[in-house]
């Protein structure tokens, strides 16, 4: 029956999946295994009807990975005896040389480096991912302040704040509580890091009762008068990327509606070069996020605006990040280019292949 479920998933047949749960499979263990498979495929759009299935509430939590993925992950880590937090210096094996976040001056004194600290932030996030505790970003003093944040500069602070979401990955109860304090600070880098951390923490999780990520992140898509243009751009891009990470592979239409305006090509403007650098940056991140949300779905409505953005960027010789992100987002949607009917945008991108000559100038 698990193989039948995988076939139904490849066919995208909701009716077949419902029939398996409601009619064909009665064994509790098999039903739970099928729910885990749906959760692994991030089929969050499928939820069992409580009127038709007595165990719908339990199975829906398994499908959404809510309250089980983090628990099972930590149980496995405990069984493997790897739950003890590790520091970046343990990974670097700093005792063997000056390879950690601190180097030594000619006099032998330790010298802090913001660049090395930023690298340590990433190492710390990856080595303690999902454990809910580490020795850098979760450590606070008696006043609840974390000192590691302020050992970084600007974007390093942004990464450090976002890494808290990685340490609490899949644990949206404790994770959102830990990240909440970053959303009310005056520093744009820390606040944007907290916004991005919400997306990182929520990635691969769907709460059947409260969908917190989409309830919180859209607030940061609008400009905030308290911050400069650069600060607002960072907040907006963090929220956009956070939505892409939080709902990666879920094919959520409500997320597409939030993001597609950032990549829409305004035909009335004519010249995309007149758009601000901030708008182009948002479009770049939004293109990649849409691709992540619709990864592997071949969804035509998601792929078409990305292709139009790519064509516009190529025609106007826009900077390469816009092109590469649009191309990456389109590639994530995989076979969308082969789905009929063929739009003018898709026809254009096919007609301007290398064999047909360069794009018109």
- What are 324's two structure tokens? 């590469």
Instruction: List the beta bridge partners of residue 103.
Output: 111
Residue 81 lies in a domain: no
Together in a domain, 132 and 57: no
Together in a domain, 162 and 280: yes
3-class state of residue 102 by DSSP = strand
Residue position matching structure tokens 């901030």? 278
pLDDT in the model for residue 278: 66
pLDDT in the model for residue 316: 63
φ and ψ at residue 279, rounded to 5 degrees: -65, -40
Contact residues for 102 (Cβ-Cβ < 8 A; gap 6+): 94, 110, 111, 112, 113, 116
**What's the average model confidence in pLDDT over 162-171?**
92
Together in a domain, 165 and 261: yes
Q: What is the CATH number of the domain that holds 157?
A: 1.25.10.10
DSSP string, 54-98: TTHHHHHHHHTTTTTHHHHHHHHHHHTT--S---HHHHHTGGGSS
3-class state of residue 234 by DSSP = helix
Residue 136 lies in a domain: yes
Residue 98 lies in a domain: no
φ and ψ at residue 102, rounded to 5 degrees: -125, 140
Residue 13 has pLDDT above 90, yes or no: no
Together in a domain, 44 and 158: no
Residue 332 has pLDDT above 80, yes or no: no
Of 308, 315, 319, 311, residue with least CA distance to 281: 319
Together in a domain, 45 and 192: no
- Picking from 48, 63, 78, the residue at the C-terminal end of a domain is 63
Residue 82 lies in a domain: no
**What's the average model confidence in pLDDT over 152-171?**
91
- C-alpha torsion angle, residues 167, 169, 173, 176 (rounded to 10): 70
Together in a domain, 140 and 34: no
φ and ψ at residue 152, rounded to 5 degrees: -120, 165
Q: Which of 24-38, 45-59, 214-228, 302-316 has the lowest average pLDDT?
A: 302-316
Residue 275 lies in a domain: yes
Together in a domain, 59 and 118: no
pLDDT in the model for residue 61: 81
Q: Which of 84-88, 97-101, 330-334, 340-344 has the lowest average pLDDT?
A: 340-344
304 vs 288, residue with greater confidence: 288
Residue 296 lies in a domain: yes
* Residue 31 domain boundaries: 4-63
Q: What is the pLDDT of residues 167-189, one digit of tens each?
A: 999 988 888 889 998 999 899 99
**What's the average model confidence in pLDDT over 122-135?**
92
Of 127, 164, 160, 332, residue with least CA distance to 248: 332
pLDDT in the model for residue 197: 94
Together in a domain, 218 and 320: yes
Together in a domain, 151 and 267: yes
- Picking from 42, 63, 84, the residue at the C-terminal end of a domain is 63
**What's the average model confidence in pLDDT over 45-74?**
80
Q: What is the pLDDT of residues 206-216, one digit of tens each?
A: 877 778 888 89
**Total domains in the fold of the chain:** 2
Q: How many residues does the chain have?
A: 361
CB 171 within 8 A of CB 139: no
Q: Which of 15-29, 113-127, 160-174, 271-285 has the lowest average pLDDT?
A: 271-285
Residue 278 lies in a domain: yes
Together in a domain, 30 and 130: no
3-class state of residue 110 by DSSP = strand
Average model confidence (pLDDT) across the chain = 78
**What's the average model confidence in pLDDT over 133-150?**
86
Together in a domain, 313 and 180: yes
pLDDT class for 353, splitting at 50, 70, 90?
Answer: very low
Together in a domain, 58 and 127: no
CB 1 within 8 A of CB 20: yes
3-class state of residue 111 by DSSP = strand
pLDDT in the model for residue 357: 45
Residue position matching structure tokens 């590790």? 86
pLDDT in the model for residue 95: 57
- DSSP assignment letter at 271: -
Which of 59-73, 237-251, 280-294, 344-358 is most confident?
Answer: 237-251
- What are 317's two structure tokens? 């010789």
**What's the average model confidence in pLDDT over 243-258?**
88
Sequence-distant contacts of 84-90: CB under 8 A, at least 24 apart: 85/128, 85/131, 85/133, 85/134, 85/135, 86/127, 86/128, 86/134, 86/135, 87/124, 87/135, 87/136, 88/119, 88/120, 88/123, 88/124, 88/127, 88/136
pLDDT in the model for residue 4: 86
Residue 203 lies in a domain: yes
CB 185 within 8 A of CB 197: no
């Amino acid at each position: 029956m698990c193989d039948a479920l995988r076939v139904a998933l490849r066919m995208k047949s909701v009716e077949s999946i419902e029939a398996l749960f409601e009619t064909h499979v009665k064994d509790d263990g098999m039903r739970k295994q099928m729910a885990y498979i749906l959760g692994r495929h991030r089929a969050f759009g499928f939820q069992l009807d409580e009127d038709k299935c007595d165990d719908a509430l339990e199975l829906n939590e398994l499908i959404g990975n809510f309250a089980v993925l983090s628990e099972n992950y930590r149980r496995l880590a405990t069984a493997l005896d790897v739950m003890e937090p590790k520091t970046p210096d343990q990974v670097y094996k700093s005792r063997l040389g000056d390879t950690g976040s601190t180097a030594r001056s000619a006099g032998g004194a330790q010298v802090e480096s913001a660049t090395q600290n930023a690298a340590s932030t990433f190492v710390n996030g990856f080595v303690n991912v999902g454990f809910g505790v580490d020795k850098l970003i979760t450590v606070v003093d008696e006043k609840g302040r974390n000192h590691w944040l302020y050992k970084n500069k600007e974007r390093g602070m942004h990464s450090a704040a976002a890494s808290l979401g990685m340490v609490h990955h899949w644990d949206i109860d404790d994770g959102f509580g830990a990240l909440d304090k970053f959303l009310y600070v005056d520093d744009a880098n820390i606040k944007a890091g907290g916004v991005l951390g919400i997306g990182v923490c929520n990635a691969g999780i769907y709460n059947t009762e409260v969908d917190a990520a989409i309830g919180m992140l859209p607030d940061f898509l609008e400009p905030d008068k308290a911050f400069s243009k650069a600060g607002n751009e960072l907040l907006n891009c963090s929220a956009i990327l956070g939505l892409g990470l939080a709902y990666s592979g879920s094919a959520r239409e409500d997320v597409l509606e939030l993001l597609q305006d950032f990549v829409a090509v305004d035909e009335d403007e004519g010249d995309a070069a007149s758009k601000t650098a901030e708008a182009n940056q948002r479009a770049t991140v939004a293109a990649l996020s849409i691709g992540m949300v619709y990864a592997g779905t071949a969804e035509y409505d998601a792929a078409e605006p990305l292709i139009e953005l790519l064509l516009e960027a190529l025609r106007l010789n826009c900077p390469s990040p816009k092109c590469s992100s649009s191309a990456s987002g389109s590639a994530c949607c995989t076979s969308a280019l082969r789905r009929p009917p063929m739009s003018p945008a898709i026809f254009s991108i096919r007609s301007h292949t290398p064999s047909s000559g360069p794009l018109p100038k």
